[in-house]
């Protein structure tokens, strides 16, 4: 049943075209029978069979509904925005795999100073924090996410650095970042800004906690920007917003359907 549930969730993603073809290829490789079995063996040992069964029955019920695609799509979008429970945790693991190459590509565009203090907004499953930590051995990395489940997953993903004090992850909203003015040397936002409650307010909040001459990176796939956002979809509009907020040197990089917006305070 666990095996079935995981594949059911994934195939709903693929059939609704929430995944790009390269991601599907990588994920099919990632979800080999052995890897699925090992994952669920761990979860069974933690006595979560009832939760898995409950979520499986939930998706079966959705499948029987007449408007199943819209129902499932809305449920998955809700989980992507605010992951919760077993399904949310599973999605975070998938995102860690799916977004790695894009994250590394975007970070290759910036030179991180030694001992930099960095913030990852919408840290999700924690992979971007893990990459930032590897890139800067002497730096300090903070992560925030609106989702309690994401915070838990991120902490587990970066347990060694969290225990050492190098990484600090907490539950918080981009609309009220819980840090002092001019605190961070660099702030990143991977696959998240299109979910922010109020982009005008939120980029201003990022500006507040970013040090003078600090860097802010917004990274996302084009099709998600077009799907989720009602405004600031174009480079012209987002550049205008960022410059009006006070950012300088707005630079755009594009690669395989993704965009990296690089700005400096």
All structural domains of the chain: 2-98 (no CATH), 101-264 (3.40.50.150)
Model confidence, pTM: 0.72
Q: What is the average per-residue pLDDT within 99-124? A: 90
Q: Is residue 190 predicted with pLDDT exceeding 60?
A: yes
Q: What pLDDT was estimated at residue 253?
A: 95
**Angle (nearest 5°) at CA 103 between 78 and 187:** 85
- Name 158's Cβ contacts closer than 8 Å, sequence gap at least 6: 126, 129, 130, 133, 167, 169
Whole-number Å distance between alpha carbons of 105 and 5: 32
**pLDDT tens-digit map of 203-241:** 999 999 999 999 999 999 998 898 888 999 999 999 999
Q: What pLDDT was estimated at residue 100?
A: 80
Q: What pLDDT was estimated at residue 196?
A: 95
Q: Is residue 122 predicted with pLDDT exceeding 50?
A: yes
Whole-number Å distance between alpha carbons of 168 and 157: 12
Q: 104-127: string of b/e by CB count within 10 Å (b at 16+)?
A: eebbeeeeeeeebbbbbbbbbbbb
DSSP class of residue 176 equals G
Lowest-confidence segment of 65-69, 101-105, 114-118 by average pLDDT = 65-69
**Angle (nearest 5°) at CA 66 between 60 and 69:** 70
Bridge partners for 117 per DSSP? 140
DSSP class of residue 112 equals P
């Amino acid at each position: 049943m666990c095996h079935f549930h995981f594949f059911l969730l994934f195939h709903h993603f693929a059939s609704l075209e929430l995944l790009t073809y390269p991601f599907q290829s990588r994920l099919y490789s990632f979800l080999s029978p052995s890897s699925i079995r090992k994952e669920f063996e761990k979860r069974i040992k933690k006595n979560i069979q009832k939760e898995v069964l409950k979520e499986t029955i939930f998706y079966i019920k959705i499948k029987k509904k007449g408007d199943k695609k819209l129902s499932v799509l809305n449920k998955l979008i809700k989980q992507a925005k605010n992951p919760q429970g077993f399904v949310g945790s599973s999605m975070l693991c998938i995102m860690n795999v799916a977004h790695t190459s894009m994250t590394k590509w975007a970070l290759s565009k910036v030179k991180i100073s030694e001992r930099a203090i960095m913030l990852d907004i919408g840290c999700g499953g924690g992979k971007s924090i893990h990459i930032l930590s590897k890139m800067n051995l002497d730096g300090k990395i903070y992560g925030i996410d609106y989702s309690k489940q994401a915070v838990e997953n991120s902490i587990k993903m970066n347990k060694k650095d969290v225990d050492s004090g190098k990484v600090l992850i907490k539950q918080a909203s981009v609309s009220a970042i819980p840090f002092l003015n001019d605190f961070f040397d660099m702030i990143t936002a991977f696959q998240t800004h299109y979910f922010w409650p109020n982009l005008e307010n939120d980029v201003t909040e990022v500006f507040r906690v970013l040090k003078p001459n600090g860097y802010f990176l917004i990274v996302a796939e084009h099709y998600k920007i077009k799907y989720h956002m009602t405004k600031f979809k174009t480079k012209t509009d987002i550049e205008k917003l960022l410059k009006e907020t006070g950012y300088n040197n707005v630079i755009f990089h594009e690669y395989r359907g993704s965009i990296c917006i690089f700005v400096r305070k």
